[in-house]
Amino acid sequence: MTRILIAEDDRNALSGLMEILREEGYDTVGVDSGKKAIKALEREKFDILLTDLRMPDLDGMQVYEHSLQISPEMKTIVMTAYSSVKDAVDAMKRGVYEYLTKPLDLDELFVILHKAISELSLLRENEELKDRLRSSFRFENIIGRSEPMQRVFKTIRKVAQSDATVLIRGESGTGKELVARAIHYNSKRSEKPLVEMSCASFPETLLESELFGYEKGAFTGATGRKAGRFELANGGTIFLDEIGEITGSVQTKLLRVLQEKEISRLGGTEAIKVDVRVVTATNRDLEKALADGSFREDLYYRLNVIPIVLPPLRDRKDDIPLLVDHFIRKYTRQNNREPMEITESALELCMKYHWPGNVRELENAIENAVVLGEGSQILPENLPIHLSARDAGSVSNIELLFNAGETFREKVEFAEKLVLEEAIRKAGGNKSEAAKRLDISLRTMRYKIKKYNL
């Protein structure tokens, strides 16, 4: 219920106004002086202050100024006689929400109250959303009790409060984007934008325009000016995933941003200052890229100020039970399922498997088990069939293949998935290297990875 404090020195007017507003469903408190209004504000929480502009001890503006120190989000509506409308307009310039002339038009009052309440509701929803984002991405919620993950947490705690550039290393599926978000939402920039993009998702020409923006006429199809990701992230953080995939031209322009703190849009000459913290991530061997000349050494050292290395899931198997429990809770909630638990035999399979797709692959397996499973338990048969066969060696690959699906297409897709998993594992999680080993394009590899949730 909306709470309104009414400050009016005319007691008859005060009493009548309180009665009208209460009949409309508002929770009202009335006082007949400015000093009493301030005491009420210090004692209780209100959504709206409805105050007379002229009162004998303290006027409405003095009450308003005091309220800013106590409850700055509260909306203040000033009531005034026609002779002092100029003062009321001046009050609005100082931040007062609205003014009403006496005698009050009740229809106008209700319209203004409704508008003020709607704006307060929207403001609070935005604040609640920010709180949920902070809660969802704070580093304490990145699951892990193992020693390698505790070292990661320690580094995140230290780096979050600085503006240092961070390079997050790790195989695909280890949660690099979660670490980037945790750094941002625990930093002094948390109220500003976090702009995320995957550098591997754009060809070179489009990547430049996405990062730095463009002017009208910069290239065919550039019908107007567009701000780039760095401009959109101004004051906040930009997270560039798969940074190892950018070409030499983009590397040169990115180096300039890091050195000069400014960008130029494509087709433009203006140098635009940007205040952006840069966090990058890669699963590529950048040291090898330095050696073969495909990655600039000066850019590498600019990006690698604070390195954070995420361990693969196979090196932190103590975290698997925690992760399994977390994902079961997450997906039973999302799918309106009754509480579920994993059996010891199913958990044992999870512990034995090497998880080439890391935490992402584990999450997909548990989501699938929750959605398709029956009853209150996740059984071994609810998990992907290759978990049991790959590590236990209980059946041959031929038996495994013939047990996978019913149709020829299902069996072929299953075999293709096994081949891709093995290639990614042998390449240490590096998708580019895995694609080379299989003699397929990186674009095809990304399509297959997405198709099979690897």
Chosen domain end from 288, 311, 334: 311
Q: Do 65 and 157 fall into the same domain?
A: no
What is the pLDDT at residue 401? 55
Q: Which residue has the higher pLDDT, 400 or 371?
A: 371
Rounded distance between C-alpha atoms, residue 215 and residue 206, angstroms: 14
What is the pLDDT at residue 80? 84
135-139, 192-196, 212-216, 325-329 — which is least confidently predicted?
A: 135-139
Q: Do 21 and 102 fall into the same domain?
A: yes
What number of residues does the chain have?
454
Judge whether residue 55 has pLDDT over 70: yes
Rounded distance between C-alpha atoms, residue 279 and residue 430, angstroms: 20
Q: Report, as an integer, the average pLDDT of 92-104.
A: 84
**Helix axis angle, 34-43 to 60-70, nearest 10°:** 10
- CATH number, position 260: 3.40.50.300
Q: Do 234 and 158 fall into the same domain?
A: yes
Q: Do 109 and 18 fall into the same domain?
A: yes
**pLDDT tens figures, 135-189:** 555 566 688 888 899 899 999 999 998 999 999 999 888 999 999 999 999 999 9
Q: Do 368 and 279 fall into the same domain?
A: no
Q: Residue 406 — very low, low, confident or very high, per pLDDT cuts 50/70/90?
A: low
Q: Do 182 and 34 fall into the same domain?
A: no
77-81, 234-238, 401-405 — which is least confidently predicted?
A: 401-405
Sign of the CA dihedral with 49 first, then 51, 55, and 59 last? positive
What contacts 309, CB < 8 A, 6 or more positions away?
152, 169, 170
Q: Residue 395 — very low, low, confident or very high, per pLDDT cuts 50/70/90?
A: very low
Cα–Cα distances (Å) from 437 to 288, 424, 427, 441, 449, in that order, read 16, 9, 8, 10, 15
> pTM to 2 decimals?
0.60
Q: Domain range for residue 154?
A: 140-311
* Residue found under tokens 């061997």: 285
Tally of domains within the chain: 3
Q: Do 156 and 68 fall into the same domain?
A: no
Rounded distance between C-alpha atoms, residue 340 and residue 8, angstroms: 59
Mean pLDDT score across all residues of the chain: 86
Chosen domain end from 258, 285, 311: 311
Q: Do 299 and 336 fall into the same domain?
A: no
**pLDDT tens figures, 111-126:** 999 999 988 888 887 7
- CATH number, position 82: 3.40.50.2300
Q: Do 38 and 155 fall into the same domain?
A: no
Judge whether residue 266 has pLDDT over 70: yes
Q: Do 416 and 364 fall into the same domain?
A: yes
Q: Report, as an integer, the average pLDDT of 380-388.
A: 82
Q: Do 174 and 211 fall into the same domain?
A: yes
The token pair at 300 is 């590498």
What is the pLDDT at residue 389? 54
Strands 341-342 and 377-378: parallel
What is the pLDDT at residue 450? 78
Q: Report, as an integer, the average pLDDT of 221-240.
A: 90
